[in-house]
Amino acid sequence: MSLDPQSPQRTKLFIEQRLKLIDTLSRLPLSQLLQIEITLGIPQAVMPGLVAELGLRSAALLRYTESPQGKGLEALLTVLAHMGLQPFGDKLNQDSSEHHPSCPRRLKIRLDADISELDRDKVKGLLTEIQQIAGDFSIETSHIKYPGSIEIDLEGPEAALERLRQQIVLKEIMQVLELQIQEVGFTEIEPCVEGLNLQFADLGSANLCSADLSSADLSSADLHSSNLHSSNLSEANLSFANLSNANFSFSDLRHAEVSFAGVNETDLSNANLSFANLSFADLSFANLSNANLGSADLGSANLSFADLSSANLSNTNFSFADLSFADLSFANLSNANLSSADLIRANLFKANLRNADLRDADLSNADLSNADLSNAEVTSATFGGNLGLSAKDKNDFRGRGAIFVDDPEMTDNSVIGSNP
């Protein structure tokens, strides 16, 4: 850590420390997050509702703490230390389930109440009464849900949770803080992923060059304009994240989950995205030149105006994708699924489309000069105004089920793969 000379009482974190702090907060149970909020005097009005994702809550906590109105990171780290958590020391416990090593399950209690009846103080009171009933003050509230009634998930030693469950089942306990108990039962705890939990994290403009974020949960995180050059994001979850204008060049994103993410104007040149899921992602104007997207899923993705020149797109799914005005020159699209894709005015100069599925695709005004469409499936594909298609090519594609709209006279640079 270092001190900001402009504000001597304000602690600044190196990016690695910031990632560890976000991960630590995101793994805390709700009751401990509420304890931190109350201790630091964070107004309830600036925090999301009690049923919000814990990652969103921890992000709001950190954002307010670092704001001019907050008490600063030093105060937050002091509170964490009193709770036995040291994000930057050897005692950091990155797996929240290790607080209770004998506890593989959660106890779910459903209360007959409306979410409007709960606030932070009442949640604290509920937990205190539950701890007293169970005779164990290590029990924590891990999550609160509101599916019509209130569901509270509790974590702690299984013996204590079982004791609590038995008292409720035997009707020895029927109310908590005068709220009627409707149902009680155990649920399995999902195992923690190997990587950092950075869900909803604000990492905009961060320098994460060469960082190891493999298997990290970055879903819904803000990484706009960040530098992730040569970073390892293999098997990371980036779904719904904001990745616009970020630099992912030469990064490893194999098997990454990037569905529904905003990746517009992002540099992914020379990146490895093989087997990644980018379905429904916005990759408009992105730079994917020389990238490896072999066997990736880009179904229904927006790749309009994207640069995919010389990229490996073999066996890739582009069904229903928007590739209008995209640069696919010299790209390897062999065995790719381009069914129902929009390729209007795309540049496919010298592209390899051998065995590609172009059924119902729209290739109007696309440049097909010297493209290889050998054995491509063109049934119901729309052509017209294409550079590189001769009259012979057109007749051949018509015979294979293609549709031609009115187009101007073609050049003599015929495509490869048309039958003589």
Query: Domain limits of the chain?
Result: 2-94, 98-188
Mean pLDDT (the chain, rounded) = 86
Cβ-based neighbours of 306, under 8 Å, separated by 6 or more: 283, 284, 285, 286, 287, 288, 323, 326, 327
pTM as predicted: 0.68
Look at residues 86, 83, 30 and name the one whose alpha carbon lies nearest to residue 57: 30
Residue range 346-378, pLDDT digits in tens: 999 999 999 999 999 999 999 999 999 999 999
Residue 416 burial by CB count (10 A; 0-12/13-18/19+): exposed, middle or buried? middle
pLDDT for position 290: 97
Domain at 98-188, CATH class: alpha beta
Residue 320, Cβ neighbours under 10 Å: how many? 19
Across 145-165, average pLDDT:
85
User: Which H/E stretch holds residue 80?
Assistant: helix 73-82
Look at 9-13, 73-77, 274-278 and tell me which has the smallest mean pLDDT.
9-13
Across 23-50, average pLDDT:
90
